[in-house]
Structure 1
Amino acid sequence: MTEIVVLILAALVQFLHIGITGYLLNRTREGRDWNASPRDKPRPQPKDAYEGRAERASQNHQQALLLFAIAVFAVTATGSASGLTALAAWAFLLARLLYIPAYLLGWNPWRSVIWLVGFAATGLMLLVALF
């Protein structure tokens, strides 16, 4: 059950990512005009590093969230939920929360370390469900 609660919280983090990205991409008139258009033309190039980073961080979280959701489903469906999988789920969530500022502020190499923690936590959950 803990893993499902963490999955819901991780989905809410995706809402946070979408909000931050939307804000950063729509700060300029050009960005707002494109957002309100039928989007027949490509999106304007990011005006600063934060816009591009926010968009890439959001895309990364979507990918990570999909794998994490599969891991939560696998752990739940196989009855493999344990203290270890709950800890891994919380580690994933903490890593994803730290990933936002790490990416936006360009924390190198810490952004990659934080990403690896979340990825490893997801992998651990999948392995527990498998074995």
Structure 2
Amino acid sequence: MPTLPNELVLLGWSTILLVVYIMTEGQTATRDRGLGWNAGPRDGKAKPLGVLAGRAQRALRNFQETYPAFIALALALAVSGRTGGLGEAGAWTWFAARIVYLPLYLLGVPYLRSLCWTVSVLGLILMLVRLL
């Protein structure tokens, strides 16, 4: 069985990371709004989210903003045969920054969280440079 490029391995792991973001958002929202709200049809006006659930929701939305670019770049690198080098470094950079980003956002750490987001975007840029 041939080994997969690290960009594709990270694509697989990024799916698990997406689930972590989704579960964090869902669990914190359920804590604030109750199990009945989560299990029900969620019709009508929802009870406002608390601070932690609001942060989890915004962190998930932020993840979802860069995730499509990561998927596209990882697949494009693999299909084009341009894996490794800057592309692999960029994929690792994006992935590591996105892992660190979630707890920083949940804890409300300013500046460092923004730096982490910037590092993740730089990872995407490295992937793009390798592709082009």
User: Taking structure 1 as the reference length, what is the TM-score of the superposition?
Assistant: 0.90
1:22-101 paired onto structure 2 within 5 Å:
22-28=26-32, 30-46=33-49, 48-101=50-103
Query: Following TM superposition, by how much is the alpha carbon of 1:70 offset from its aligned partner in structure 2, in angstroms?
Result: 0.7
Structure 1 residues 127 and 83: alpha-carbon distance in aligned structure 2, compared to 1, 3 A threshold: closer
Q: Could you tell me how far apart the structure 1 residues matched to 2:23 and 2:121 are?
A: 23
Provide the identity percentage. 34
* Residue 13 (structure 1) aligned with residue 21 (structure 2): no
Equivalent AA in structure 2 for residue 112 of structure 1 = S
Gaps of 5+ in 2: none
CA contact (8 A) 1:92 1:119 kept: yes
RMSD: 1.3
Query: Following TM superposition, by how much is the alpha carbon of 1:86 offset from its aligned partner in structure 2, in angstroms?
Result: 1.2
Query: Following TM superposition, by how much is the alpha carbon of 1:127 offset from its aligned partner in structure 2, in angstroms?
Result: 2.4
Runs ≥4 in structure 1, deviation > 4 angstroms? none
Corresponding residue for residue 108 of structure 1: 110
Q: Which moved more, 1:53-62 or 1:81-90?
A: 81-90
Gaps of 5+ in 1: none
Q: Could you tell me how far apart the structure 2 residues matched to 1:124 and 1:41 are?
A: 44
Residue 102 of structure 1 aligns to a residue in which SS?
Answer: helix
Query: Following TM superposition, by how much is the alpha carbon of 1:119 offset from its aligned partner in structure 2, in angstroms?
Result: 0.9
Q: Which moved more, 1:83-92 or 1:50-59?
A: 83-92
> Residue deviations 1:87-123, cap 9 Å, x none?
1111111100000011111111011100011111112
Q: Could you tell me how far apart the structure 1 residues matched to 2:45 and 2:10 are?
A: 36
Q: Which moved more, 1:81-90 or 1:2-11?
A: 81-90
User: Taking structure 2 as the reference length, what is the TM-score of the superposition?
Assistant: 0.89
CA contact (8 A) 1:74 1:126 kept: no
Residue 81 of structure 1 aligns to a residue in which SS?
Answer: coil
How many residues end up aligned between the 2 structures? Answer: 128
